Structure 1
Amino acid sequence: MALLFFGKDPNTNGDNCPTVWVDETSADLVMQGWKADGTTEAECLTAGHIPDSEAVIRIPARMVPLIRKACDEAEQRSAVQ
């Protein structure tokens, strides 16, 4: 698996911060984010169970431009497959 790096949260020091990639093979988005707090997770649970293989994460809104670029790339890659 190869990941195409799109960027880290621009308002952090570059260590241990939210990050976005696109999987070059599957075109899936891969994101690192802050673990959601208990209140946020509880509200998310109102929509359904969160399996052990999944997590609720928080990505800062200031990363929208990076995520948009990653989404465009993922969309282009998935159209080729």
Structure 2
Amino acid sequence: MNIHFVGIDPETDEDGCPTVWVDTETSDLLIQSYEADQETTATCDRLSPARAPIPPGETVIRIPARMVPIIRRACDELDSGVR
């Protein structure tokens, strides 16, 4: 496993905050963020094209809009083959 730190929420207090990493072996994004509230999760569940409840082991997470540049940077790193 080759995990690479990309960025942390720029408004964080660095105590349990949204963070983005990439796994350069699998090209997966790894994201720590806020768990969505029940209303949001139920809405996403209802609108899912899978037409099935969110399965065990998966959840809806909320990523602050201010983290979009960090997620873009993570995708760019994976696209460029950063290892």
TM-score by length of 2: 0.86
Is 1:55 aligned to residue 59 of structure 2?
yes
Q: Which residue of 2 aligns with 1:44?
A: 44
In the alignment, does 2:21 pair up with 1:21?
Answer: yes
Could you tell me the percent identity over the aligned residues? 53
Per-residue CA deviations over 1:7-57 (Å, capped at 9, x if unaligned) read: 111101111000001101001111001000001000011113211121110
| Equivalent-residue separation in structure 2 for 1:52 and 1:22 (angstroms) | 23
3-state DSSP class of the match of 2:22? strand
- Structure 2 CA distance for aligned equivalents of residues 75 and 39 of structure 1: 35
- Alignment-derived partner of residue 31 in structure 2: 31
Q: Which runs of 5+ in 2 are unaligned?
A: none
Gaps of 5+ in 1: none
Name the count of aligned residue pairs.
77
Taking structure 1 as the reference length, the TM-score comes to 0.88
Match of 2:77 in 1: 73
Q: Is 1:5 aligned to 2:5, yes or no?
A: yes
User: Hey, which bits of structure 1, 4+ residues long, moved more than 6 A?
Assistant: none
d(CA) in 2 for partners of 1:59, 1:6: 15
C-alpha displacement at 1:76, in angstroms? 2.5
- Structure-2 separation of matches of 1:32 and 1:66: 12
Work out whether 1:64 is the aligned partner of 2:44.
no
